[in-house]
Amino acid sequence: MPELLFQAALLIIIIRAVYMIFSLAQRPKKPWLDLLHYISVAIVALTFLL
């Protein structure tokens, strides 16, 4: 059961990071540091999930 909760939490983190990446990428002046932060969060969470 804890493993399932951990996987669900990682999935939520990935979804939130991808949402933030797309919403920040739509801005005319892109906050590159924030974009890189969310990209790295998504990559790390994805590696833990797989």
Residues 6+ away with beta carbon under 8 Å from 24: 30, 31, 34, 35, 38
Q: Mean pLDDT in the chain?
A: 95
> pLDDT class for 1, splitting at 50, 70, 90?
confident
- Does 15 have pLDDT greater than 90? yes
Please choose, from the candidates 38, 46, 47, 48, the residue with its C-alpha nearest in 3D space to the C-alpha of residue 18. 38
In one-letter notation, the amino acid at residue 34 is D
pLDDT of residue 40: 98
